[in-house]
Homo-oligomer: A and B are copies of this chain.
Amino acid sequence: MMSEKLILGVDIGGTKIAAAVVTGEGKVISRDYSPTSAQAGPQVVIDNIFATIDRAISSSNVALSQLSGIGIAAAGIIDSENGKVIFSPNLPGWHEVSLGDAVHQRFSVSTYLGNDASLAALGEWRFGVKKQVTNLIYITVSTGIGGGIICNGKLYTGVLGAAGEVGHMTVDVNGPRCNCGNVGCWETLASGTALAREAVKHIKEGANTSIVEFAGGDLTKVDAKVVFEAAKQGDKLANQLIARLGYYLGVGLANLVNIFNPELILIGGGVAKMGDLLLKPAIKVVNERAFATSATSVQIRPALLGDDSSILGAVAFVLDNLAEGSTIRGE
């Protein structure tokens, strides 16, 4: 371990912050968590980030001076070049926050910042599939749908780092209104939120289902997890709703297959934990709707790194930047 690089990765979620000390090979040495306390505003969140990093380092037996870099993954529009969070849906009040500078000043370690779904794609590619493919799309399906793109063996983030917003491609031009202001976005039909919305609609219409029992009789507690639990116990409506979710997931995946002709699509995020119940109908739709050449050359599989995609992606991002001799956010 003496000769190997050590990197600290941070993943800032809407509810929790995770930090881990990781080797250059992707092995996690130590990790720690804090609540994000996003509603308390940027300064409190930044203090929580500092504290989580401190604890991850102290439990690792690694000295701060041994770290080659810190990588940070956050949702939203991230200006990696300047280490700024331009806007984040998870972090109220964050507009053009110089998080990279703040972390660099506190720890005196070169710090690199990127979008969480893009970095997850990078992490899955480097540490999950070990760069065995050249073109990979990573999708995270949870309350929304995010995406990251590896093309020609390189992370692709677009001109301002905003690429990969696949959850907001219109797949139903006359579909439901999305939080983003658009209509018929993929995530209005194929996310965990969409699943819960449909379940509640059917329950209110008097459907015969055990979903509401799995939610403890409380309609506001119906979410993707609850529907999945009911489905596993044989609830007919729950199974139908998940198959419908898989159908819409497949419609968007077929679009990505036609646009990118990738070797591999990896599906992460909470909803992806449904496994075959969700992926089988999705893959069927891809085979029906996408061009045969591209449909037969793609593999669609669950992501390999579980909840660590983004944090390991942040580590991979640091390694890439160090290899390129970048001087962004540090010396």
B-contacting residues of A (Cβ < 8 Å)?
77, 86-87, 133-135, 147, 151-152, 154, 156-166, 168-175, 180-183, 189, 248, 251-252, 254-255, 258-263, 288-291, 293-294, 297-298
When the two chains form their complex, are residues B261 and A180 in contact, meaning their CB atoms are under 8 A apart? Answer: no
Cα–Cα distance between A151 and B222 once the two chains are bound (Å):
41
When the two chains form their complex, are residues B297 and A261 in contact, meaning their CB atoms are under 8 A apart? Answer: no
CB<8 Å pairs between A and B, sample of 14? A134-B159, A135-B158, A152-B152, A159-B261, A159-B297, A160-B293, A162-B297, A163-B294, A165-B261, A169-B258, A170-B254, A180-B291, A181-B288, A255-B255
Q: How far is the CB of A171 from chain B (nearest CB, A)?
A: 5
Beyond the given pairs A159-B262, A169-B258, 8 more chain A to chain B contacts, judged by CB atoms under 8 angstroms and listed by A's residue number, are: A86-B293, A135-B158, A166-B259, A169-B169, A169-B259, A172-B172, A172-B173, A172-B174
When the two chains form their complex, are residues A162 and B87 in contact, meaning their CB atoms are under 8 A apart? Answer: no
Q: How far is the CB of A232 from chain B (nearest CB, A)?
A: 28
Point out the residues of chain B lying under 8 angstroms from A259, CB to CB.
Answer: 147, 163-166, 169, 259
What's the number of copies of this chain in the assembled complex?
Answer: 2
Cα–Cα distance between A290 and B77 once the two chains are bound (Å):
14
Q: How far is the CB of A161 from chain B (nearest CB, A)?
A: 7
Q: How far is the CB of A74 from chain B (nearest CB, A)?
A: 15
When the two chains form their complex, are residues B158 and A261 in contact, meaning their CB atoms are under 8 A apart? Answer: yes
Point out the residues of chain B lying under 8 angstroms from A298, CB to CB.
Answer: 159
Chain B residue nearest to A174 (CB atoms) is B172
State whether A165 and B87 are in contact (beta carbons under 8 Å apart), knowing that A151-B151, A170-B251, A173-B251 are contacts in the complex: no
When the two chains form their complex, are residues B182 and A294 in contact, meaning their CB atoms are under 8 A apart? Answer: no
In-complex Cβ contact of A157 among B157, B182, B248, B261 (8 A) = B261
Q: How far is the CB of A269 from chain B (nearest CB, A)?
A: 18
Point out the residues of chain B lying under 8 angstroms from A77, CB to CB.
Answer: 291, 293
Chain B residue nearest to A147 (CB atoms) is B259
Point out the residues of chain B lying under 8 angstroms from A189, CB to CB.
Answer: 173
In-complex Cβ contact of A161 among B168, B174, B261, B290 (8 A) = B261
Point out the residues of chain B lying under 8 angstroms from A289, CB to CB.
Answer: 170, 181-183
